[in-house]
Every structure is written in structure tokens, then in C-alpha cells.
Amino acid sequence: MIDSMKKRGFVVSLVCGCTLALTLQAGESPRQPNPDWPCEQVLVAEVPAAVVWAGPSIKGMEQAWEQDREVESLVRHITSPDYDVDAADGEIAAFSSKQQAAEKDQRLTLLFAGVIQSLNERRRKELDGIIRYAQGQSARANRLSEELDEMVRLQDDPSQAARERLALMQQEMEIKQRMFDERESFIQHLCTRPRVIEERLGILARTIAYYLD
């Protein structure tokens, strides 16, 4: 009467007068090592510097940028979530123009090291949040599955108590389905957040690289 339910995908029809359809995204795929990752894009823990940066190596600068007060301040400023990235060119140009020729490239590279580390950290938090959200959805799906199994059993029970219990569960299930569907649709919005950070990282990396000699 009810199809077997997958962890993040099922469609259920009840013969008791109400039809319930819960559609969840597919779970693990051959390319996706984390079965709780719900987004279409492949899960990548962090953006490597080589993907966005053609300048000098940042090896060894992972902590050094925080020791440079001016660089650290600019990094925090231009990587803040509410920062208007369109203003980056002017501020990075001003930073570059103040540098001595002998150290300009080194300090610009230091600036990029801070930018990529800061944005990768924020992106990682977004990834973790998405996974926790998806895990919560999976837990809700499992609970709904158990309740649906109970509803099927109640259909075969002719007692008055069973009929009353089934009617109540049908009403509650409609509400739970609507809430579940609303949360499921929000996943696609969550999946855009890492991409926004990646785009910001790319813009800042190109802007900093432009002022290298």
C-alpha cells in the first residue's frame, strides 16, 4: 500500500481518503561522498588558492597575515558579509599605492592569503549548516515514515478508537507535510550561499592580482 521509502526520497499514497506526497532529494551518488549533502553542486571542503589566484604562492602565510595589523584590518573589512564588493577596487588600489615597490607584491599576496582563509572559513560554516539542515530533514522524513506506517496499520483496525486516531493523524499529517515541503524548498536557497562566497572570493582575488607588478 505504501512504497518503500528512501532516506531522502519517497512518494506515499494512502487509501484512507487522503493522499500524501512527500518528495525528497536523492541521497548519496557515486560522486558525492557525504550522503547528507543535498545540493546539486559537488561538495568541496574549500576553494584552493590555485583555482582563483595566479599570483605568488601563499604557502606559509596562513597565519602571517593576521600579524600585519593593516592587512588584517583590510581583510576583515572586505570579507565582511555586508561589504559592497564593488568598492573593493578603490580600497585595494589605495592599499597598493601606499606600499614600497620592494614589498608591494609580498603584502598584496599577504592580503590575498587573508581573504581566501577568511572566506573559506565562512564558506565552511555555510557547508556545515547546510548539512545539519539536511540531516534534520532526514530525521523528519524518518518520523513521517513511522507515522505513515502506523496510519496503514490503523486502516486495518475496525475499532472506533483506531478510526478516531487515524482521523487525527490524517489532519496532523497534512500540517506536517506542508511544513516539511516548505523546509525542503528552502534547501535550494541554502545551496546558493556557498556559491555567493565563491563569487566574492573570485572577484577579490582578481582585484588584488591586478595590482601585482
Q: Where are the chain's structural domains? A: 49-210
What is d(CA 43, CA 28) in angstroms, rounded to the nearest whole number? 12
DSSP-assigned letters across all residues of 26-62:
---BTTBS-TT--SSSPP-SS--HHHH--SS--TT-T
DSSP assignment letter at 3: P
Phi, psi of 6 (to 5 degrees): -90, 165
Over its length of 213 residues, how does the chain's per-residue pLDDT go in tens digits? 333 322 223 222 222 222 222 222 333 334 446 888 999 989 999 999 999 999 999 998 988 999 999 999 999 999 999 999 999 999 999 999 999 999 999 999 999 999 999 999 999 999 999 999 999 988 988 888 888 888 888 888 888 888 888 888 888 888 888 888 888 889 989 999 999 999 999 999 999 999 998
pLDDT per residue over 69-128, tens digit each?
999 999 999 999 999 999 999 999 999 999 999 999 999 999 999 999 999 999 999 999
What is d(CA 105, CA 48) in angstroms, rounded to the nearest whole number? 20
Q: Are 116 and 205 in contact (CB under 8 A)?
A: yes
pTM of the full structure: 0.74
Q: Which amino acid is at 78?
A: I
